[in-house]
Every structure is written in C-alpha cells, then in structure tokens.
Structure 1
Amino acid sequence: MALLDSALTRVLQTPGIAGAALVDSVTGLSYASLGEVDGSRDAHDIVGIADTGLRQAGCTDGLESIVVSTPSTHHVTLSVGNDGDPVLLCATVDRERTNLAWVLQDLTRHADALLA
C-alpha cells in the first residue's frame, strides 16, 4: 500500500488535482485513495455504462478515458493497464485552478509510471 500511496501523492502534485484513487475496474473496490475522491466511487459504474455504449455503437477499441464535468470540478477516469482487467486511475480536478489538457497529460504520465 505504501507504493500506491506514494504514486497517488505524486498525482496530487499536479496543480488543480484535489484527489486521486486507484479503483478495480471489475469490482469497483478502491485499492488506495488520497484527497477529495467522492466521484471515484461512481467511476466503475460510469466506465461500465460508457464501455457498453461504445460496444453497441460498434467501437472495438478499449476505453481509454472519461471526463465528467460539473460546474466546479472535472472527474477524470483513466484505464490503466492492457493485460487482463485494467485498474482505473480516478482524479478530482478543480476547474478553476487548472487546464484539463495538462491534467490529462500528467495523469497519463502517472498511469504509465504505475505500470512500470
């Protein structure tokens, strides 16, 4: 768990990220979380709905990321890992303090580091 907490601490160093969590993509259980992560509880369900919709639309590629926006936050979910069932890296982002494109780039870099 110390390694996961360390990885999430690095994620929280990205300006504007208020919380982060690693969530099992199959069960929805959280492996680790830090900061404000209320939206990550629903990430598993949101990913399932989006993945089902993409498959019904004929998309054969796997889901890479989802961004759900509210007036004050973005809830970003990235699928981490290609072998077996992926893990979800979820982040709560303050819309006032950051640029979403930078956050997505940083989260992708952090997700790659989790796989190393």
Structure 2
Amino acid sequence: MKLVRSSQTQRNTGRPVHFALQDCDPCPVRPRCTKAASGKYGCALAILPREQQQVLWQRRQEQQTEGWKKSYDIRAGIEGTISQSVRLLAQDERGSLSWGAQLLQVAMALLGSGR
C-alpha cells in the first residue's frame, strides 16, 4: 500500500493519512467510503493520539444511552429555536444577517452555553 500524502490538520486533531486510489479500488467496502472531490486520492483517515481516540470511543458510547439522548433532544430544540429566531430577523438584500440578528445569535449562544 502506498501512502500518497500526509500533513497536519489545521486544528491538530489528528494526523491525516491519504491512500492512493489504486489501493482503495479493490476494497470490498469501498462504496461505503467518502471520496475525494477530485477523485485523485483514495481513502483518508485521521489518526488520533491514543488518549484522544479512547476519549472519542467513550463519548460515542455515551451517546447511545437514553440519558444522553434526552439531554441532546433538549439542546437540539433550543438550538433550533435560536436558529429560527435569527433567520426570521431582517436580512439585507444580499441575504446576510443584519447587525441585530448577529447580536441576538451571539447573545443566545452565550445564554445557552451557561456563561
């Protein structure tokens, strides 16, 4: 298998690894993979440090619990309400949010984060 390229991500969340397209083509699960927009490369993976990967696995397991799902439903409802409120405020002719809408969006986000 040939490694095509590798570089640090912008947020240092992992080490990206990109494989050559010819290495991925014969894979039986290839249709389930995402594809590079250019079609030039094969599969891409972000390899996290072990500690970060373990935390990620733990959080994904927590997301399967009923308690987490109920908590997230509340958050999703609040975020939807905020989003709808901001969209309903006046937008200029370019479709950009007005200064007041932007201010409301920031204020609601801060209130929702408990700060």
Band the TM-score falls in, shorter-chain normalisation: under 0.3
Whichever structure has more helix as a proportion of its residues is 2
Q: TM-score by structure 2 length? A: 0.27
Name the structure, 1 or 2, with higher relative contact order (CA <8 Å, separation 6+): 1
Larger Rg: 2
Q: TM-score by structure 1 length? A: 0.27
